[in-house]
Amino acid sequence: MSVKVTLTMAEIFGLETELSGAVNQSTGEKLSKGLLAQPITLVTKFRLTELQKSLVEHKKTFETLRDELITKLGTKDADGNVSIPMYLESASEEAPKEINPVFIQFNQEFEAVLAETREITTQKFDISEFDFKTDENYPVFFKVLETATSAE
């Protein structure tokens, strides 16, 4: 049985990380294993993998739009990299840092997209499918699980 859950884009990002785990991009250190690495049945892992794949599509669309906005608002450096500095360059070290108005504009548009909601379809779960001990916390998945276990 399929269940529909409404999540913000920020929650979609969080849920995808909760399912797949997280790695520090700078050091390669594994920050969390993710639900898919927990001792769950093959059927449950299949359902979670299907859910994770649907989240990746939303994430790809968001990242493409974010990159387009950075290209539109940002400035290129000598190497051709585009960025939006948080602070404007000041004439002296002693001068207080002034926030870049372009960064504020980018952040406002970025936050507006993160607040957008999408309806996600997942399979109905039973709480007993997640009977394992872990130190990790899955707040967005708990929201999905609450909806997916209470569906009639």
In sequence order, what DSSP letters do the residues of 32-51 get, joined into one string? E--GGGSS--HHHHHHHHHH
Give the mean pLDDT of the chain: 90
The pTM assigned to this predicted structure is 0.81
Predicted pLDDT at 96: 80
Which pLDDT tens digit goes with each residue over 102-118? 999 999 999 999 999 99
Which pLDDT tens digit goes with each residue over 64-98? 999 999 999 999 988 999 999 999 887 677 778 88
What's the CA dihedral at 33, 38, 41, 44 to 10 degrees? -50
Residue 99 identity (one-letter amino acid): I
User: Does residue 124 or residue 139 have the better pLDDT?
Assistant: 139
Predicted pLDDT at 94: 77
Which pLDDT tens digit goes with each residue over 23-43? 988 898 999 999 999 999 999
- Residues in the chain, overall count: 152
